[in-house]
Structure 1
């Protein structure tokens, strides 16, 4: 073999080694993830149900990953602002969003021109966390004991009663709009930044009703400050004994389930997504976290990323039909 040919072969081999090494750098970098704190954006205020659940998950996730988990509250626009921040964030596994279904399911139809992100293309699902029915809640002083009483009172005072929500497009908003439509009553929406603010308004009598998450509503129900008239699951809830469903009080098929999920920016490397899903599934299924979720009236419901994607698609189709039927738009 000539010296020139040997030199060419050697150069080619050195080039191949360089290219293989360069190709392995991203994999090695991913294998070292996480190397710094991970931020979980909660697009609702401190003390809200998503905030409480996110913090329930954060501590064991920090232990599993060996890095701090920083919960950042970024409330506004029914959760859309914080969700958009993550959707447009860097897909490196260091920024996640813990949100309810509103910004993922109903917001795209309600804000067709102004939302600024597409949940199905700009976000990478990690896992569903938990599900819960809503509770139709009214002030203790309101002279009603069930849904029929409330509808009768609302008809008598047509247009004079208000209801609280956590913003347009939230399950609290759409569940009430669906109820109004089916019952033939008029109630004015008063939006608040979170459920703690809504329950305070109900207690004070500033609003006369609200579909609330049980974690916020039930302590006040138990203290006698508000009344629970119904829940929005089709079946009775073991964690909410004695509260009848809307379905059994004259509104067959009435269902409005709240759920929580964790997502990352689209493009987050698959190994990171898989690691997060694996760690979170173990955490959510642990007896400790299940008990903590149950105390907040949520049922643990971890999923694969594909299952969460399918749930978003299915719920979008179901709620889009309601939004279109009601003629709702928030652009």
Structure 2
């Protein structure tokens, strides 16, 4: 009996080793042949937007590195859900990737679950967190508030009267306003816009009281003196506007929000290819010319492993689920 058991274990171990060897050979073969054709990068944002500019810059370098075309496709709509859904349902062959934003991955599952046609957790796998960019809370130069505590004091005296714009439900402008309402005990009112451009125009024109947006959009106006920054939502100051304090420095404890962008692939994409893309994205982000162009927009360059990105997404999803529940935030 003991002899038979030993023989069975030996055969099982041999089969396991052989199987592992075959898997490794297959993986090596997949990596050596990939890519053999055009690679698609789908970005759920319009041309000219921050994520569009980033993914085009990165894709150009990847194309040169891989010797194959890397094509960027802008698929917008439903707060990024349409583009993300397209990738979630794509063939997991290593030729289609999502350059995702925070909304459809970490916010929409809790904010608008009935509108989800895919599961970010089940249908997509992380590849690399590429960049993070903070929001700025700004007002016109003539506004009486000179810092966040001034704004909070004004909001408490005028509940429901101070308005800010959002580019839609679950966007970082929306999240910034709702989180500030929650932690400061105030009632800022979010005004949804169909486009970020119109929101920015109205903010500069005084049609809304606060203009909350990311660095690439607001930096030119801040540098020109057309806007006054009360605070930045990252946990560190920006080298582009070093005198502007963070929300945490402004006395709002634990307040940190960034719009983050990264690569994801359809579930089932071979890990060896996912790892290669992740490593190559990190190499591109480390290139001096690429790094400088991104950093000059006060954007934080990351370039993570798939495992690091997965842990980051999990933490962000839990964070915003809690905020959405506590603020009773809706997509309406």
Alignment gaps of 5+ in structure 2: 1-24
Whether the 8 Å CA contact 1:44–1:193 is kept in 2: the answer is: no
Correspondence for 2:321 = 320
1:215, distance to aligned residue in structure 2 (A): 1.4
Query: Residue 238 of structure 2 contacts residue 298 of structure 2 at CA under 8 Å; is this kept in 1?
Result: no
Aligned residues: 310
TM-score under structure 2 normalisation?
0.85
- Max radius of gyration: which structure? 1
**CA distance in structure 2 between the aligned counterparts of 1:51 and 1:192, rounded to whole angstroms:** 20
Residue 50 (structure 1) aligns with: 51
Question: Equivalents in 1 of 2:256, 2:237: separation in Å?
Answer: 12
Instruction: Report the CA distance between 1:185 and its aligned residue.
Output: 2.9
Distance change in 2, residues 1:221/1:288 (3 Å):
same
The CA deviation at 1:280 is 0.8
Q: Secondary structure at the match of 2:229?
A: strand
Deviations 1:202-246, CA, capped at 9 Å, x for gaps? 112232223311111111111122221101123333343110111
| Distance of aligned partners of 1:30 and 1:286 in 2 relative to their CA distance in 1, 3 Å threshold | closer
Please report the TM-score for the alignment, with normalisation by the length of structure 1.
0.85
Change (3 A) 1:25 1:284: closer
- Is the Cα–Cα contact under 8 Å of residues 109 and 329 in structure 1 kept in the other structure? no
**Cα deviations by residue, 1:58-103 (Å, 9 ceiling, x for unpaired):** 2111111112222211222222221122112221222211122222
Question: C-alpha displacement at 1:52, in angstroms?
Answer: 1.6
Pairwise CA distance, 1:29 = 6.2
**Structure 2 residue aligned with 1:282:** 283
Q: Secondary structure at the match of 1:131?
A: strand
State how 1:91-106 maps to structure 2 within 5 Å. Answer: 91-106=92-107
Change (3 A) 1:143 1:256: same
Task: Give unmatched runs, 5+ long, in structure 1.
Answer: 1-23
Change in Cα spacing, 1:91 to 1:193, as seen in structure 2 (3 Å) is farther
Give the whole-Å Cα distance in 2 for the aligned partners of 1:251 and 1:95: 41
- Match of residue 121 from structure 2: 120
1:243 aligns with 2:258: no
Task: Give the superposition deviation at 1:156.
Answer: 4.2
Report the counterpart of residue 200 of structure 2 in structure 1: 199
In structure 2, distance between residues paired with 1:35 and 1:155: 60
- Residue 13 of structure 1 corresponds to none
Taking the aligned partners of 1:193 and 1:65, their CA distance within structure 2 comes to: 38
Give yes or no for contact 2:203–2:210 (8 Å, CA) kept in 1: yes
- Superposition map of 1:81-92 within 5 A: 81-92=82-93
8 Å contact from structure 1 (residues 132, 299) kept in 2: yes
Q: Would you say the 8 A contact 2:35–2:68 is kept in 1?
A: yes
User: Given the alignment of the two structures, is residue 188 of structure 1 paired with residue 184 of structure 2, yes or no?
Assistant: no
The alignment status of 1:66 with 2:71, answered yes or no, reads no
